[in-house]
């Protein structure tokens, strides 16, 4: 069960007070941080948890009988249990620690490729994927002679579900479906449960990139029915260099490890090595222990608040930003799906996104510019890049108004 001390009233001022970085000045102006889809900021208790490990424990896990090693192991495994609870995994050993979503997806691709793929097989992804959910699958397809197929994206930035379903139903060669839960560029919330159900009917293994969903949506891996679900800590108020790959126990038992070394072994001889039980089979080497402890604290912090209230606040920000941005002459929003999280990508006629981002930074406003590691998606919409504003629970409508004012000022300078 999640924390019983959930705060039912959402107080954005109280939340903001927990983020030290929000008191910083950028170019002499108060920081307005709208780059949460790249990396979210961290509440004070997460920073303290990571620091406290180095100050009071700082020992390796699972490898010593001394007191500090025991404390480190207990703290890391407590984080694993917290995450298991948060995503409703059946077992704690189904939670694999990695360095981030990219590492999780590479683990999935290279292990599943070895387990499942042969010449003539197919891997199905979508046209809105992050490069981390494209390139690893390209690599394994090339290695095993499989084919990568792509679900097309509609003009509103959604999956074309009729084509997606036909790609699944009409191909006996499809072995893996790997798709994003939420688009990092468009903010689109994808109907993963529906597509996973179709894939499961045909025995297709399902992999979900949850990097942009984990901080904003309720994630229940048993309800989704997915085989693997990947996410990062740094987009969910946790430390950088931390991530998770959830895997269904039966599948993880079959999957070969993708890295060898210490901790992931049972017995090593020069003739043969046998591997450790889950989850350690996939956790070779010394992990980012301090980061994992901080990651657990980030999830406990989120559980102290009403997730629905947080989501409602972020939805209000999205609606306000959408309305105000569209009052700017020549501005076009890329991605107008009915279901979105707080992410807006936009272009402005006659204004390069890089120039706009630079001028916004001069006014203390942090946004992301470029292709957002989704070059095929940019090509689909006929743009080289966008300006992206992405919101977190600590952002406010007043900050959005500051961005709108700063954007108008920048546009006047650039046209």
148 with 24, same domain: the answer is: no
Q: What is the mean pLDDT of residues 307-316?
A: 95
CB atoms within 10 A of CB 148: 16
Structural domain includes residue 41: no
Same domain membership, residue 274 and residue 167:
yes
Which of the residues are catalytic?
373
Domain limits at 359?
12-36+305-414
Residue 224 C-beta-side C-alpha neighbours within 13 Å = 30
Q: Give per-residue pLDDT as tens, 125-155.
A: 999 999 999 999 999 999 999 999 999 999 9
CATH number for 395: 3.90.1150.10
Domain boundary among 303, 318, 350: 303
- Segment 168-174 shows an average pLDDT of 91
Residue position matching structure tokens 């070059």? 375
The pLDDT tens digits for 349-363 are: 999 999 999 999 999
Do 328 and 286 share a domain, yes or no? no
pLDDT tens for 333-354 read 999 999 999 999 999 999 999 9
- Name the E strands within 325-373: 331-334, 343-348, 365-366, 368-370
Indicate which CATH number applies to the domain containing 53: 3.40.640.10
Question: Do 161 and 296 fall into the same domain?
Answer: yes
pLDDT digits (tens, 9 = 90+) for 223-268: 999 999 999 999 999 999 999 999 999 999 999 999 998 888 888 8
* Model pLDDT for residues 104-115, shown as the tens digit of each residue: 999 999 999 999
Q: What would the pLDDT profile of 19-70 be if each residue is shown by its tens digit? A: 999 999 999 999 999 999 999 999 999 999 999 999 999 999 987 789 999 9
End-of-domain residue from the set 260, 280, 303: 303
Residues 33 and 332: their CA atoms lie apart, in Å, by 22
399 pLDDT more than 90 = yes
pLDDT number for residue 2: 47
Residue 245 vs residues 73, 107, 182, 273: alpha-carbon distances, Å? 19, 8, 16, 24
Residues 304 and 3: beta-carbon distance below 8 Å: yes
pTM for the full predicted model: 0.96
Shared domain check, 56 and 24: no
Has residue 2 been placed in a domain?
Answer: no
Give the pLDDT of residue 203. Answer: 96
pLDDT of residue 263: 84
pLDDT value of residue 3: 47
On whether both 129 and 239 belong to a single domain, the answer is: yes
Rounded Cα–Cα distance for residues 344 and 368 (Å): 10
Residue 8's pLDDT band, with cuts at 50, 70 and 90, is low
The pLDDT assigned to 7 comes to: 67
Is 7 among the domain residues?
no
Please check whether residue 230 lies inside any domain of the structure.
yes
Same structural domain, 339 and 367: yes
Instruction: Please give the mean pLDDT across all residues of the chain.
Output: 96
Of 44-58, 158-172, 198-212, the least confident: 158-172
In degrees, rounded to 5, the angle at the alpha carbon of residue 258 between the alpha carbons of residues 239 and 90 is 65
Structural domains counted in the chain: 2
Examine the fold and report which residue of 273, 303, 333 is the final residue of a domain before the chain moves on.
303
Residue 42 lies inside a defined structural domain of this protein:
no
In the three-class reduction of DSSP (H, G, I as helix; E, B as strand; rest coil), residue 386 is classed as strand
Do 203 and 61 reside in the same domain of the chain? yes
| C-alpha distances out from residue 194 to 159, 162, 199, 228, 302, Å | 12, 12, 9, 16, 27
Is 391 inside any structural domain?
Answer: yes
> Could you tell me if 277 and 312 lie in one domain?
no
Query: Within a domain: residue 159?
Result: yes
**In angstroms, what CA-CA distances link 389 with 34, 193, 394, 408, 411?**
5, 27, 14, 15, 16
The pLDDT score that the predictor gives to residue 65 is: 86
Q: Are residues 281 and 349 in the same domain?
A: no
Is there a single domain that holds both residue 32 and residue 163?
A: no
Q: What confidence category does residue 324 fall into, taking pLDDT thresholds of 50, 70 and 90?
A: very high
Confidence band of 1 (pLDDT split at 50, 70, 90):
very low
The answer as to whether 5 is a domain residue is no
3-state secondary structure of 354: helix
* Whether residue 86 sits in one domain with residue 168: yes
Phi, psi of 135 (to 5 degrees): -60, -45
């Amino acid at each position: 069960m999640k924390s019983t001390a959930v705060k039912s009233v959402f107080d954005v001022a109280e939340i903001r007070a927990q983020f030290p970085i929000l008191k910083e000045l950028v170019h002499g102006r108060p920081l307005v941080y709208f780059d949460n889809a790249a990396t979210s900021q961290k509440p004070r208790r997460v920073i303290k948890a990571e620091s406290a490990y180095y100050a009071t424990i700082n020992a390796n896990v699972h490898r010593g009988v001394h007191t500090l090693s025991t404390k480190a192991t207990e703290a890391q495994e407590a984080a694993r249990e917290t995450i298991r609870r948060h995503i409703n995994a059946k077992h704690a050993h189904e939670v694999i620690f990695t360095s981030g979503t990219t590492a999780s997806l590479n683990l999935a691709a290279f292990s599943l490729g070895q387990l499942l793929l042969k010449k003539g097989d197919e891997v199905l992804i979508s046209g809105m994927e992050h490069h981390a959910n494209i390139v690893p699958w390209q690599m394994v397809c090339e290695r095993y002679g499989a084919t990568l197929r792509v679900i097309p994206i509609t003009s509103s930035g959604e999956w074309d579900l009729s084509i997606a379903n036909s790609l699944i139903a009409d191909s006996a060669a499809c072995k893996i479906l790997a798709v994003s839960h939420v688009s990092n560029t468009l903010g689109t919330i994808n109907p993963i449960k529906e597509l996973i159900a179709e894939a499961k009917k045909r025995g297709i293994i399902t992999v979900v990139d949850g990097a942009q969903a984990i901080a904003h949506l309720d994630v229940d891996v048993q309800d989704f029915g997915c085989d693997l679900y990947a996410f990062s800590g740094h987009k969910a108020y946790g430390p950088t260099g931390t991530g998770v790959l959830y895997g269904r126990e039966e599948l993880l038992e079959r999957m070969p490890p993708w890295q060898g070394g210490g901790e992931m072994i049972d017995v090593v001889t020069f003739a043969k090595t046998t591997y450790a039980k889950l989850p350690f089979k996939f956790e070779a080497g010394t992990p980012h222990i301090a980061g994992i402890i901080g990651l657990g604290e980030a999830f406990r912090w989120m559980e102290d608040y009403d997730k629905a209230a947080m989501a409602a606040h972020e939805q209000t920000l999205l609606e306000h930003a959408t309305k105000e941005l569209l009052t700017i002459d020549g501005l076009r929003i890329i991605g107008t799906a009915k279901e979105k999280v707080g992410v807006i990508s936009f272009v402005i006629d006659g204004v390069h996104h890089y120039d706009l981002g630079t001028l916004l930074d001069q006014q203390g406003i942090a946004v992301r510019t470029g292709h957002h590691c989704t070059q095929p998606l940019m090509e689909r919409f006929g743009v080289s890049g966008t300006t992206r504003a992405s919101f977190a629970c600590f952002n406010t409508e007043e900050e959005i108004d500051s961005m709108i004012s700063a954007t108008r000022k920048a546009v006047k300078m650039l046209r």
